[in-house]
Amino acid sequence: MVGDARPTKAPMLKFDNRFLQSLPGDVNTANHSRQVHGAFWSRVAPTPVAEPRLMAYSSEVALMLGVSEAEMHAPEMIPALSGNGVLPGMETYATVYGGHQFGNWAGQLGDGRAILLGEAVTSNGRFEMQLKGAGRTPFSRGADGRAVLRSSIREYLCSEAMHHLGVPTTRALSLVLTGDQVERDMFYDGNAALEPGAIVCRVAPTFIRFGHFELFASRNETALLRQLVDFTITHYFPDIAKGYTDENERILAWFGEVCERTAKLIAEWMRVGFVHGVMNTDNLSILGLTIDYGPYGWVDDFDPGWTPNTTDAGGKRYCFGRQPGIAQWNLARLGDALSTLGIEPASLKAVLEKYETASGLAINRVYSEKFGLYQWQDADGDVMDAAFALLMESEIDMTIFFRALATAEGVEALRDAFYIEGQWLQAREKWVAWFARYTALVSEQNPTSEQELARVNRMRQANPKYVLRNYLAQQAIDAAHAGDYSKIAELLDVMRKPYDDQPGREAFAEKRPDWARTKAGCSMLSCSS
């Protein structure tokens, strides 16, 4: 308990804050921006808000935490989810970490607008709860520590949408409107404006990032780095903790597991057409979860070079097609940090090389699933590469194309995936030739009707009909700004079953409309989005 935060009487959650108990904290309890040394965390109380209102919550996440619907609406809960109070056992704090941002070392970063509430112990496991937008911390670097409604809606919706797509992710319990106004310059172009403030309660087994390890290594705080590595392996990788007695071997095995989880995560991003937008090392989870939903986007027309982040528009460092390689680069920086523990760089390099293999296997697997093929073969790769080449020649909607391909009996079934009719007419003969190659390959692998049905079902489970398209999220945001919050719940409800047809909801599966091509929030996003 810190500051003015007073515990309530509601016993709805049980907390066991082992991060605070196991790792040293900041002796300075003042809440002002500063460099924090010799500690993993700083106690800090959320900044109270004027008029908190629960706009939305995920019933699935509440159930995971063991919180009932009635408890979500209890008088004690809204203060806890807005930073105006704490539940019994909650302890509020922010963690310190560093990171490489756009390839450059940024030094100390830390939880600048996220405040942890502690670790809830449930029948489903342990989960850290964190308020994003809860006010200043020692790591805010002069910022206000707040979040605006539009970015909070995007984080809330995408966290849950990704989970239902089967992509490893942090979760979102709640979305709270604060009643305060927050000043933001959305595109850093001198056009600051006041916007409604909001807070998302994020949930994950841990929010430890690559950058946590990097910071202590950069400061030569080897003892603290070793302590963090031991804590992480012991509590989040217990099989590795039990399986190795030699410390260096244990760390190398753990690093290999992080590499493998990251490879699988990025492959899932590629499968569903997700672009994170800002893959700095401080934005990668040590558990292989999608973390920090900022200027993310969903690929509409297939383009490996597309990035939703206007800050990245020139270099396209974090564009769709570069995500696997950037993950490898980030893992190399984690390896650099671990080398300061006395581990041979050659051993770390050998483990890192396995990422490339794991990434290739994972991506080949997900694309084989998308094309309805049993497993990766060289001949299959030729057919897939030919499809990708054709997809890049025209504006073709990635999600609609692959969904249609599952049941396509002729090439005309792919027509609706084209954004421009003239481009379809120009490319049709090329697609006829490709489709003949593809159907021949599919028929060879699925000679019976039972096998063909199984193939279609596999493809439909690999290729969602519904994804959180940028314009859909923006429509929910626009409605919320107008006072209509129902669109948030409706959109989330659609995203709960992304692989089902959902009759009557076809509008949520339509191509990007023309008005969204240049609209802020749809095609243009920034780290302030």
**Alpha-carbon gap, residue 243 to 169, rounded angstroms:** 27
CA atoms within 13 A on the CB side of 22: 15
Q: Tell me, rounded to whole angstroms, the distance of Cα 324 from its chain centroid.
A: 15
Q: Is 50 helix (H, G, I), strand (E, B) or coil?
A: coil
**Alpha-carbon gap, residue 217 to 211, rounded angstroms:** 10
Element (DSSP H or E) covering residue 335: helix 323-339
| CB atoms inside a 10 Å sphere around CB 52 | 23
Of these residues, 180, 282, 292, 301, which one is catalytic? 282
Check if 282 is active-site.
yes
**Alpha-carbon gap, residue 341 to 229, rounded angstroms:** 10
Kindly report the backbone phi and psi dihedral angles of residue 239, in degrees, each rounded to the nearest multiple of 5, phi listed first: -65, -40
Quick one: CA torsion of 180, 185, 191, 192, rounded to 10 degrees?
Answer: 30
**Alpha-carbon gap, residue 415 to 50, rounded angstroms:** 52
| DSSP symbol at 140 | S
* Residues forming beta bridges with residue 171, ordered by sequence position: 203
**Alpha-carbon gap, residue 358 to 256, rounded angstroms:** 10
**Alpha-carbon gap, residue 227 to 206, rounded angstroms:** 16
What's at 390, amino acid-wise? L
- Taking the CA atoms of the chain, what radius of gyration do you get in angstroms? 24
DSSP secondary structure of 454-519 = HHHHHHHHHS-S----HHHHHHHHHHHHTT--HHHHHHHHHHTSTTS--TT-GGGGPPPPGGGSS-
Look-up of token digits 């099989």? 239
- C-alpha distances in angstroms, 175 versus 25, 41, 150, 274, 480? 29, 25, 11, 22, 12
- C-alpha distances in angstroms, 180 versus 48, 66, 176, 199? 10, 30, 11, 11
Residue 474, both tokens: 């923006």
Q: 3-state SS string over 98-120?
A: EEEECCEEEEECCCCCEEEEEEE
SS3 content of the chain, % helix, strand, coil (to 5): 45, 15, 35
Residues recognised as catalytic: 282
